[in-house]
Amino acid sequence: MTSQGAGAATDGAGRPSLTTLPVGDHGLLIELPTPRDVEALHAELLRRAAAGTLPAVREMVPAARTVFLDGLADPSALAAELAGWRVPPPTADDRPAVELPVHYDGPDLAEVAALWGMSADEVVRLHSGTTFRVAFCGFAPGFGYLTGLPAHLHVPRRESPRTRVPVGSVGLAGAYTGIYPRSSPGGWQLIGRTDAVLWDPRREPAALLAPGTPVRFVPADATVPTPRTAPSRTDRAPEEPAR
């Protein structure tokens, strides 16, 4: 392993700026300053696990600002060791992105267009023109929280969650975009749907998206169809450009 220089939140020697919190008898929650640091430390943990130099661990769960390790024999020993690690910054992922064909006809497309201050066509272009990455998973097997949208395009959840979001729905909430692997209640703003199978326990791997996977959305239709249940947004001025 070589250090390619300090990441955003490392000291000059590439040592991570992190806080460790004990979680029960066998867990350790590692807090990091930025999602980029989470990505770097998670990659380093995976490298060490593959090399057999990481203590045995039952679960390793990266999230927005943390990596959670559970099933450790001695969490405090690992916590002490972590402070001296050299963690290289995340490298550009050279894996080809998983491409997901999307029908951009979600019921909240017009709502998102209004929030973003642009037309539905522009939402589609922007969303499908972004390379996303799975920051972490949760909520349901195969549900990945995908990052990549700039902060000014983060949208709130719907005030009233839907009781049933159809399988394959592509949604936005906060900093994330995601795809519902199965039908469930949900409060994300739905802009489209995909026929891709996000989760199939008979498949290896069962989850199409795992932490770190790069993802691109590809418009499945030549033109953007009218949203299925387009809410009227004539009361909002969509002309304000995105910051």
Q: How far is the CB of 13 from another protein (least distance, A)?
A: 27
Asked if residue 132 binds another protein (CB under 8 A), the reply is no
- Segment interacting with another protein, rule: CB under 8 A, options 56-64, 84-92, 94-102, 152-160: 56-64
Q: Is residue 117 near another protein by the rule CB under 8 A?
A: no
Q: Are 134 and 212 in contact (CB under 8 A)?
A: yes
Task: Tell me which DSSP letter residue 131 carries.
Answer: P
Binding to another protein by residue 71, rule CB under 8 A? yes
Exactly one of 9, 61, 220, 230 binds another protein (CB under 8 A); that residue is 61
Is 214 within 8 Å of 147 (Cβ atoms)?
A: no
Is 64 an interacting residue with respect to another protein (CB under 8 A)? yes
109-116 and 120-128 helices, crossing angle to 10°: 90
Q: Which of 14, 89, 142, 227 binds another protein (CB under 8 A)?
A: 142
**CB of 142 vs another protein, minimal distance in Å:** 6
d(CA 94, CA 224): 31
Nearer to another protein, 80 or 242 (CB): 80
Does position 68 bind another protein by CB under 8 A?
Answer: yes
* Distance in angstroms (rounded) separating the CA atoms of residues 12 and 177: 34
Distance CA 154, CA 75 (A): 36
H or E element that contains 51: helix 35-51
Q: Work out whether 17 is an interface residue with another protein (CB under 8 A).
A: no
Three-state SS at 133: strand
User: Count of residues for the chain?
Assistant: 243
Q: Which residue in 12, 24, 52, 84 binds another protein (CB under 8 A)?
A: 24
Q: Shortest gap between Cβ of 22 and another protein (angstroms)?
A: 6
Q: Which of 11, 25, 81, 195 binds another protein (CB under 8 A)?
A: 25
Residue 45 binding another protein, by CB under 8 A: no
The secondary element (H helix, E strand) that includes residue 68 is strand 66-70
Cβ–Cβ under 8 Å, residues 145 and 134:
yes
Residues making contact with another protein (CB under 8 A): 21-25, 27, 29, 58-68, 70-71, 136-143, 145, 182, 201, 206-207, 210-211
